[in-house]
Structure 1
């Protein structure tokens, strides 16, 4: 969307009102109305909600004029991804749907007085889209064609085979930030605060989604290590290795992050969401694509996986190695195949499974009346 400052700055509006001689109270009232504006629909005297592009686009999807994209059979269709002023619209590359998308954008512009910034927008196609249809879609929308989305929310939308080149911008950004600090005016404590609160924090968002190449992590760690031991433009003597500095302070280190381990921990949080929130949109999409007939615990990398899925699966063994199922009524936990034993070593049942007990649940080992373990079955087993 075209932001307010793309057309008129609010400070300019305030200066113009003051230069025209309006009272300060009146100017403040006008600026309050402008900067906090919102729109609502009144239907038969009832407020039904605010106007947004989401409402217009979702209505077109419900009517069947726009179809979302599916990543696999059984996956939910995705027609849009909205975050603040960054929006992604998905539709089939044909004349009918692109006209429907254009009508939605025009309708939203006319009703909300907002404007779509076509100068900063582009359209991307799948590989099997003919060139003539690409030209038609781009011509109707009035936007240039692009080979990919570039970056969305600061992350690359497409990651090719050269992972180091795809994530080199992170390395360059951190190096540029560290080089901008004046090392002569900082003590070791000041350097520690900057490295922990700024340099290492810049990697958090990227590490939540992608498993960064080890070469990128090592390069960033070398840069931080050089800054820590250096003095001004001079290179200092490294009295300890970086892995020793990453040891927690209570064990004699300085508490810096091991970037590789931190990356796996952040990806483990995503995997944990797949386990605990299976009804979320992202969990449904990944399940339909990579493990449609099993749970996340039994999932594998599969064929032709995306880099995001490979990254999440890098933390799969770490998460599943320590996860335990909490037994409630036992109706959702299999006796064989699910980690439900409280043993710290191996939480799985290792005895051979009889064929007639395939799919047996833990609830079969419990007394339904007292909701306790049935000792007669357990002793017999």
Structure 2
């Protein structure tokens, strides 16, 4: 349709209906559109135009990982894959009306020359990223046991720099407040009253503060993952883990494996080898014997 401006028709525009911002239907509609992108990737893989990264010898192919509008594409570093990846992104833009944000998209290379990564990033109109990188609030590729991984305040995003002119001064101020709280005010000479940690972790009914014991909570979460690996055998992450570390149940984890996998192997054990309360309390029904070997 067109509007009359001073008696003359202005430029034509399309009539459509939309939803208000923050409408509860918006996430569901977006997921339907994002599923279209996954369909493009599946179609390209089916016709052999695009190839992901295979785990093991002819194993599971890792390609697209999506969570709402955060997407990771994993592929072999070939000119064909880079070309069809750009084709997929362009087709998705034309079909959905959405546009990929180049400023927030990065390309990461593993065991590649910097020149190759830069050329591919220029072709895809994105930035060259470095590992570890932030995905869904988690640093992927970082050592979770290092203190630097969790110093979030030292990695203030660029758009926050206007609010925090001097990040180092902010960190120094926080450290000063912590010391004043823990060791007491210099003027008054009074600090906090120390209480044993096991008392703090007790429930309020037993006189504690009800603070969760993080070490025990971590063991519970590890036990959950170990149980899920036994139950969800057809899950994608279980197939990847089995191809990477083998079908044997967490036997002899070594230093070359991930820390998460080593922690699973030592779950409930007081020594370095596998075993402990988890293994002692789990048994297997033979059933038809198809999944049990002697």
Aligned partners of 1:279, 1:170: CA distance in 2, in Å?
39
**Cα offset, 1:152, TM superposition:** 1.0
> Structure 1 residues 164, 235: CA separation in 2 closer, same or farther (over 3 Å shift)?
farther
> Structure 1 residues 74, 50: CA separation in 2 closer, same or farther (over 3 Å shift)?
closer
- Stretches (4+) displaced over 6 A: 170-173
Matched, 1:70 2:57: no
Determine helix, strand or coil for the equivalent of 2:193. coil
> For the Cα contact (< 8 Å) 1:264–1:314, is it kept in 2?
no
User: Per-residue CA shift, 1:50-82, capped at 9, x if unaligned?
Assistant: 961100111111111211113433531111100
Match of 2:86 in 1: 102
User: Per-residue CA shift, 1:297-318, capped at 9, x if unaligned?
Assistant: x533135112332343343645
Determine helix, strand or coil for the equivalent of 1:82. strand
User: Per-residue CA shift, 1:164-213, capped at 9, x if unaligned?
Assistant: 2112339999xxxxxxxxxxxxxxxxxxxxxxxxxxxxxxxxxxxxxxxx
Determine helix, strand or coil for the equivalent of 1:148. coil
Match of 2:118 in 1: 135
Matched, 1:89 2:73: yes
Aligned partners of 1:164, 1:143: CA distance in 2, in Å?
30
> For the Cα contact (< 8 Å) 1:121–1:143, is it kept in 2?
yes
Matched, 1:321 2:279: yes
State which of 227, 252, 273 in structure 2 corresponds to 1:300.
Answer: 252
Matched, 1:281 2:236: yes
User: Per-residue CA shift, 1:113-165, capped at 9, x if unaligned?
Assistant: 011011101000012x2333223211210111112251111111012496121
Aligned length: 243
Q: Which runs of 5+ in 2 are unaligned?
A: 1-15, 157-177, 268-273
Match of 2:271 in 1: none
Q: Which runs of 5+ in 1 are unaligned?
A: 1-28, 42-48, 174-222, 335-357, 360-381
Normalising by structure 2, what TM-score? 0.69
> Structure 1 residues 328, 301: CA separation in 2 closer, same or farther (over 3 Å shift)?
closer
**Cα offset, 1:333, TM superposition:** 7.8
**Cα offset, 1:273, TM superposition:** 0.8
> For the Cα contact (< 8 Å) 1:267–1:312, is it kept in 2?
yes
> Structure 1 residues 77, 146: CA separation in 2 closer, same or farther (over 3 Å shift)?
same
> Structure 1 residues 234, 268: CA separation in 2 closer, same or farther (over 3 Å shift)?
farther
Determine helix, strand or coil for the equivalent of 1:272. helix
- For residues 6-45 of structure 1, the aligned pairs below 5 Å read 30-32=17-19, 36=25, 38=29
> For the Cα contact (< 8 Å) 2:254–2:262, is it kept in 1?
no
**Cα offset, 1:83, TM superposition:** 0.3
Matched, 1:59 2:43: yes
Aligned partners of 1:247, 1:94: CA distance in 2, in Å?
57
Determine helix, strand or coil for the equivalent of 1:282. helix
> For the Cα contact (< 8 Å) 2:89–2:100, is it kept in 1?
yes
User: Per-residue CA shift, 1:250-273, capped at 9, x if unaligned?
Assistant: 555333211111112112211111
Match of 2:135 in 1: 152
Higher RCO (C-alpha under 8 Å, 6+ residues apart): 1
> For the Cα contact (< 8 Å) 1:67–1:91, is it kept in 2?
yes
Normalising by structure 1, what TM-score? 0.55
Task: Indicate the structure with greater helix content.
Answer: 1
